[in-house]
Chain A
């Protein structure tokens, strides 16, 4: 039985990754430029993008290096800012139909906010080649942007590059809209996450990493209360009985709610 929806090919993944590529290229130019201005060499700058591939944490690392922070502090910040990827990676892992074990450690590398959002918004399961494309193309763009930012600086006027970076938020909004159309419970879930993250991030000293994690978890719990089980149980709820129960592709059947 094929449980993979339209998100089945590498080409389809490239197409869906295009908005991410646009946003990453622009944002990573800024990273390359800032790193160079901060006195960081081309190799170290590129190593950041090649091996860690994480927007906010990379910018944070530049700030910490500039402030003369200790090594441990930089590593700890990376951990805290990126803690959310544990949950995002879990949601992506659930969505990708990996048939071979070796595919998992490879696909785990490139999970980001943006491709997590794209993958989890697909109907049904996605194929490993689709997932590879939505990770690889943005990774390439992020690294190319980093390199050109370090070498050439910002080639775009400031307002244009700011507008280009806003493409990432536009992408999130375009991916969120179908959820919002599902009704008030979903709107309440997204809105409470947005409100809570804004209050925590701007109004407290938690830092953006913790703020995000707390807001995301709290709003998801709100969602578990307000969203009817039949539209969000991720399957039929017949735990462990049938492999096909583990996805969101089949119309779920009404089941008594467990644990909520």
Chain B
């Protein structure tokens, strides 16, 4: 089958745009010369990013299943096991198990 050249072009331009977004910060000025406020911003930002990454996407990703609230069970399981586990795989595995279990409950 012949690839759709027009679509391929869109993909390549999108990829270039996407790469530029990611690569530019790697060539910014040395970090020790940037203002303290900017460094504070970048240190605090991951915490804010995580909050915004979890909500609302965790809930909306389960809308198709009819039980979006199951996400809250999974998140609670992840937080609880992350409190005790030192690694990441146990929280993730327990969240998958709890979410799956909640999705089995008949509506």
CA of A201 to CA of B31, assembled, Å: 33
Query: Chain A: which residue is nearest B32 at the CB level?
Result: A246
Interfacial chain B residues near A148, Cβ < 8 Å: none
CB distance from A204 to the nearest CB of B (A): 12
Instruction: Find residues 12-33 in chain B having any chain A CB closer than 8 Å to their own CB.
Output: 12-15, 17-19, 21-28, 30-33
CA of A157 to CA of B95, assembled, Å: 17
Task: Classify the secondary structure of A's interface with B.
Answer: helix
CA of A217 to CA of B43, assembled, Å: 12
Query: A159's contact among B15, B82, B104, by CB below 8 Å, is which?
Result: B104
A93 with B82: CB separation less than 8 A: no
A220 with B45: CB separation less than 8 A: yes
Query: B50's contact among A16, A117, A165, by CB below 8 Å, is which?
Result: A117
How many pairs of A and B residues are in contact by the CB < 8 Å rule? Answer: 313
Interfacial chain A residues near B54, Cβ < 8 Å: 169, 172-173, 176, 194
Q: Which range contains the number of B residues in contact with the other chain?
A: 35 or more
A233 with B82: CB separation less than 8 A: no
Q: List 14 A-B contacts (CB under 8 A).
A: A47-B11, A78-B14, A87-B42, A91-B42, A118-B88, A159-B100, A165-B61, A166-B70, A172-B53, A174-B81, A177-B79, A235-B39, A239-B32, A258-B36
| A positions within 8 Å CB-CB of B | 15-16, 18-19, 22-23, 40-44, 47-48, 51-54, 57, 61, 65, 71, 74-75, 78-79, 82-91, 93-94, 98, 104-105, 107-109, 111, 113, 116-118, 120-121, 158-160, 162-167, 169-179, 186, 189-198, 201-202, 208, 212, 215-217, 219-224, 227, 229, 232-235, 237, 239-243, 245-246, 248, 255, 257-260
